Structure 1
C-alpha cells in the first residue's frame, strides 16, 4: 500500500528526534507569500459577519450559506490543483495560478456592492484560488524539508500565515480610520498586498525539478487510487467526520459577541484573539507533533474545539472560546498535512494531500450550513452544545484508531 510502503523512506535521526529546528529558506519564503495573502484576505473577511447580520439584516441561515461557501468553494479545485501539480511536476506554477486568482478576486468586491449574490461570486473566485494553490504549496514545503522537521516546518509556515490573518483586521481598521467610508481604497490595498505575495512566490521560492523520463507519468486515476490505501482512507474519513460537526468560525465570533454582551462594532476584532494564539502556538505544537506523533496532536486539537463549544453556552466563559479556537487550529491545520506528507509517494504527494483537504473542506462547508439551519431552530447556545457532544463521540472512536 502507498502509505505503509513509503514510511521507510523517511528515517528519523537517532533517538527519533530532530537534531535541528532550522527551517529551509523555501518554507520561509512560502510563509511570507501566505503572510501577505492572508493580510489581503482577512481585510475583507473580518467584516463579513457584521456586514451580513447587521448591515444587510440577513439571518443565521444566510450567514451559514456564505460561511459554507467560504469554506467549501475551494474543495473541487483542491483536487485539480493537486493533480496538475503532480502531472506537470510543476507545483510552483500551479500555486502561482491559485495565488493570482485570489489576488484578482479582491477587485470583484467593489463591483459586487451590497448584493449577496455578488459577494458570493467574489468569495467563490477567492476560494477557488485557494483550492488551486493549497496542495501544491504544501507539496513544496514537504519537498524542501527533512522528514523529522516536517511538523516544525508546517508550524512555521502556518505561524506566518496566521500573522497575516492577525494583521488583516488591524490594517482595514487603520485604513477606515484614515479614509472613512472610501471602501474602494480598502479593496485596492487588499489587491496590492496579494500582489506582493505573488511576486515573492515568483522570485524567491525554488522547487526541485526532475529530468524528463525520470518521474512516473501521472494520470488522474493514479491519484484517486490512493483512496484504496487504508491509512490515508482512515485519516481522511476522520478529518471529514470532524468537519461535519464543526461550526463555521463566523458563528463562534457572533456567539462570543452576543454571550459576552460586547458592542456590535467589536465583532471584526474578535478573530484577532484567535489568530494571536494560533500564531504563538503553531510552531510549539508542530514540534510536539514531530516528537509525539501528529495523530495524537490532531485529536487533542479537536478536544480543545469541543471544549470551546461548551464554553460558548455560558456568558461567563464565552470569551475563553477564542484562545481555544486558536489552539485548535495550531494543533490541526499544519499537523494534519505533516502527518500525511512524507508517507505519500513523491510523484503523487500533492494529489494525496488534496484528497484529504477536499474531504475536509466539503465536510466543513456542509457543517457550516447545517449549523446555520440548527441555530435558526434552536439558537446558538443549544447548537454549540450539540456540536460539542458530537465532536466528543467522534473523538472517543478516533482515539482508539491507529494513525
Structure 2
C-alpha cells in the first residue's frame, strides 16, 4: 500500500491547458465547498464545544453515558457514509447528496432545545450525524475530482483550513453566547441552527451541480481543462468524464474496491489507528481536569486545536504531496502519542494546555486531509465517493468503538489508566501501520 501515489507525468505533446503561476491554484469548487464547510463548522462546533460540559455537569451523565452518546455521535455518520458515497456515485450527483446531508444536520440543531434525556439526545445526535455521513463522501469526491492527483494534498489542505476556520469561530461564538445569555445552552443551540441554515443556502446557490455535455462540473480542473480518463498504472482509471449513457454504479462494484490491495491496506490501517484515537471531547475533558481549567473557559479548548490545524493544514498537505503521504500521516499519529504522554505525566503548569492543544491540532493537520488525498491514485473517478466512504467509515467505526471502550474504562478504572491503555495501543498500532503501508519499492 502506498500513501505516496503521484500522478504519472503528462505525455509529450499533451494539452495541459493554460498554466498560471507555479501551478498551485485550487479549483473554484474547492473554495466554495470550503466556504460551506466554514459556515457549517461554526454551527457544529458551537454545539460540540459545550456538549461535553452540558451533558456531564448539567444533565449529570457518567463518563460511560457520555462515551455512549459520543460514540453514537461518530458511529452513525460512519455507517451512513457508505450509503451517501454509493448513492452519490450511483446518481452521479454529488451536490444533491451533500445538500441533503447539510440540510438534515441543520434541521436537527433546534431539536437539541427539546432533548433532555439520554434517549432523546441520542436520537437527535444520531439524525444530525446521519446528515454528516450523507455529505462527507460526496463533498470530498467533488474536491478530489476537481484536482489533479499530484496536488490532492494541497487541495484538501485548503479545504480543511477553511473548515477549521469555522471550527475556531464556533467555540468562540459559544463562549461569548454563554457569557451573555441567561439561558446560555439554549441560546447556543438556537444560534447554531440559524448558522447551519446559512451554510445550506450557500451550497445550493454557489456549488456547481449541473451536467454539461455528459461531464459534471466537478470534473473541470483549474485552468478550464477537463480530467482525462487515464490509468495510473494500477488498472484503475483516475480521471473523470463519465458519459450519461453509463449504467448506474452497483453496490458490488463499490465493494470490489476492497479487492485492490492498496485500498484494502489503507482502509485497514485507518481503522486500526482509529481504535486508539481518543475522541476530541474526552481529550478536552482530560485536559480540563489535568490543568484545572475553569468551566467557563472549557468551550475555548477546541479553539486551540483549530488554530493550529488552520495554520498547518495547507503546509502539511503540500508537504505530503512532496515527500509522501505515508510519512506525514504516520508522523501525525506520533505527535498525538506525545500529547497523550503529556496528559499522563507532565506537570500541571500553565504551559500544559498550550502544548497539548498544539500537538492535537498538528495531529489533525497531518492526517485529516492527507488520508482522502491518498485515494486519488487508487480509486477510479466514477467510484471516488464510494472509496472515500469506505475508508472514512472504517476509521469512524473504529473511533466509535474507541469512545465506548474509553468511556467504560474511565468509569471502571479512572481517566489515567484509560488514557495509558490508549497510548500503548496507539504506539503498537502505529508500528503495525508503518509496516503495512511501507512501499515495496522503498520510496517514502
C-alpha separation between the residues in 2 aligned to 1:64 and 1:175? 26
C-alpha separation between the residues in 1 aligned to 2:178 and 2:132? 26
The equivalent residue for 2:80 is 77
What SS does the corresponding residue of 2:249 show, helix, strand or coil? coil
The equivalent residue for 2:63 is 60
1:335-350 paired onto structure 2 within 5 Å: 335-350=370-385
> Cα deviation per residue 1:33-76 (whole Å; 9 max; x = unaligned)?
00110101111111111112211222211111111111111012
Question: Which of 240, 246, 251 is 2:277 aligned to?
Answer: 246
C-alpha separation between the residues in 1 aligned to 2:193 and 2:167? 15
1:30 and 2:33 aligned = yes
Aligned 8 A contact 1:23 1:153 in 2: yes
What SS does the corresponding residue of 1:344 show, helix, strand or coil? coil
1:375 and 2:410 aligned = yes
C-alpha separation between the residues in 2 aligned to 1:19 and 1:142? 20
> Cα deviation per residue 1:208-262 (whole Å; 9 max; x = unaligned)?
7362544353111110111111111001101001111111111111111111122
C-alpha separation between the residues in 2 aligned to 1:298 and 1:170? 29
C-alpha separation between the residues in 2 aligned to 1:339 and 1:222? 20
TM-score of the two chains, using structure 2 as the length reference: 0.85
Aligned 8 A contact 2:175 2:300 in 1: no
C-alpha separation between the residues in 1 aligned to 2:406 and 2:330? 21
Please, which moves more after superposition, 320-329 or 173-182?
A: 173-182
In structure 2, stretches of 5+ residues that fail to align are 12-20, 215-242, 440-444
In structure 2, relative to structure 1, the CA distance for the partners of 1:13 and 1:307 (3 Å cut) is farther
Aligned 8 A contact 1:73 1:124 in 2: yes
C-alpha separation between the residues in 1 aligned to 2:184 and 2:333? 41
What SS does the corresponding residue of 2:293 show, helix, strand or coil? coil
Aligned 8 A contact 2:312 2:365 in 1: yes
TM-score of the two chains, using structure 1 as the length reference: 0.93
What SS does the corresponding residue of 2:344 show, helix, strand or coil? coil
> Cα deviation per residue 1:72-108 (whole Å; 9 max; x = unaligned)?
1101210011001110010011100000001101121
C-alpha separation between the residues in 1 aligned to 2:292 and 2:303? 18
The Cα of 1:146 is off from its aligned counterpart by 1.8
1:264 and 2:264 aligned = no
The Cα of 1:207 is off from its aligned counterpart by 4.3
1:346-361 paired onto structure 2 within 5 Å: 346-361=381-396
Aligned 8 A contact 2:68 2:404 in 1: yes
In structure 1, stretches of 5+ residues that fail to align are none
1:146 and 2:148 aligned = yes
Aligned 8 A contact 1:139 1:341 in 2: no
Aligned 8 A contact 2:82 2:393 in 1: yes
Bigger share in helix: 1
C-alpha separation between the residues in 2 aligned to 1:356 and 1:315? 34
What SS does the corresponding residue of 1:73 show, helix, strand or coil? helix
Question: Which of 169, 174, 177 is 2:176 aligned to?
Answer: 174
Question: Which of 80, 92, 99 is 2:102 aligned to?
Answer: 99
The Cα of 1:12 is off from its aligned counterpart by 4.8
Aligned 8 A contact 1:259 1:315 in 2: no
In structure 2, relative to structure 1, the CA distance for the partners of 1:47 and 1:142 (3 Å cut) is same
The Cα of 1:377 is off from its aligned counterpart by 2.2
The equivalent residue for 2:89 is 86
1:149-298 paired onto structure 2 within 5 Å: 149-181=151-183, 183-207=185-209, 209=211, 211=214, 213-298=244-329
The equivalent residue for 1:324 is 359
C-alpha separation between the residues in 2 aligned to 1:322 and 1:65? 24
In structure 2, relative to structure 1, the CA distance for the partners of 1:48 and 1:161 (3 Å cut) is same
Report the aligned-residue RMSD: 2.0
Aligned 8 A contact 1:83 1:223 in 2: yes
C-alpha separation between the residues in 1 aligned to 2:322 and 2:9? 11
The equivalent residue for 1:305 is 336
What SS does the corresponding residue of 1:215 show, helix, strand or coil? coil
What SS does the corresponding residue of 2:137 show, helix, strand or coil? helix
- How many residues are treated as equivalent by the alignment? 394
In structure 2, relative to structure 1, the CA distance for the partners of 1:391 and 1:220 (3 Å cut) is same
The Cα of 1:297 is off from its aligned counterpart by 0.9
Aligned 8 A contact 1:64 1:248 in 2: no
The Cα of 1:308 is off from its aligned counterpart by 0.9
In structure 2, relative to structure 1, the CA distance for the partners of 1:19 and 1:13 (3 Å cut) is farther
